[in-house]
Structure formats: C-alpha cells, structure tokens
A = this chain, B = another copy of it.
Amino acid sequence: MRERSVTHSAATPGREITFQALADPTRRAVLDLLRRGSQPAGQIASAFPVSRPAISKHLRLLRRAHLVREHREGRHRVYQLNPEPLRAVDSWIEQYRVFWASSLNNLKAFVEAEHAREREAARKQRKKS
C-alpha cells in the first residue's frame, strides 16, 4: 500500500485560496476590522498606513477568496465580512487540535522513539545481510 498520497487534506479546492488570502497581516486586519461591521472601501483604507490602492488590491484578493462580499451603495462600495470560507481553515486546524488538547504530544514523542528504535533495528538487520 505504500502510502502513495496520504490523505493530503491540505489541498482542498477553496482552502488553497483562503489560506493564501490569510497569509498577509494587512488582509487579516481588514477582516478583523470588518468583524465590527461593514464599511465602504475608503473607510477601510483610512484605517491602514498603506495607500488606498494597496487596500483595494487586498480587497480584490479577499473577494476572490469569498472572505468578503461587496455591494454598491451610491458611490460607495460597502464591504461585508463573509466568514464562511474560514470554516475550511478551521476544519483543517481541527485535525491538529487533538495534539495540544491532551498529553498526546508526549505520547507522540514516545511513539516516535519507538519508531526510531525500529529503524535502528532495521538498520542493524540490513547490516547483517
């Protein structure tokens, strides 16, 4: 069976774009800001030290990741948080939560020491042949 490709849950369709969108601190800050309520683009931009076009591009990426929704309101472009895609991220992390939830970390260390011993044994074995 040779573990060809593991479960590789890291590469779920949307997840990819989402993780990438979250990689930038400014973008995360924008989301944090939007958590307190929707705002027009300019107002968002004014909360950051970078230029407005820079924020505009960040918003484009956030849109592409469906982390925000936009709707026109007069000459304003109001941005609204859409936390839905974060569920995918959450569910990915979920798989790791058990590692820090209990003493599994120690257990893991033990299991690995075990593996190391096995490897060592295998090595000695090959030496003999």
Interface centre among A16, A25, A96, A99, by most B CB within 10 Å?
A96
For the complex, what is the distance from the CA of A5 to the CA of B30, rounded to whole Å?
A: 11
- Report the interface size class on chain A: 35 or more
Q: Contact at A16–B25, with CB atoms within 8 Å? A: yes
Q: Contact at A112–B9, with CB atoms within 8 Å? A: no
Number of copies of this protein chain within its complex: 2
Q: Contact at B37–A10, with CB atoms within 8 Å? A: no
Chain A 9-40 interface 0/1 with B at a Cβ cutoff of 8 Å (1 = within):
11100001001101101111101110111100
Q: DSSP class of A's interface residues: helix, strand, loop or mixed?
A: helix
A69 CB, nearest partner CB in chain B, Å: 10
A54 contacts chain B at the CB level, 8 A cutoff: no
Give chain B residues whose Cβ lies under 8 Å from the Cβ of A74. Answer: 123
Closest B residue to A116 by CB, please name it: B73
Q: Contact at B112–A80, with CB atoms within 8 Å? A: yes
Q: With A32-B9, A35-B95, A89-B93 as given contacts, are A20 and B23 in contact (CB-CB < 8 Å)?
A: yes
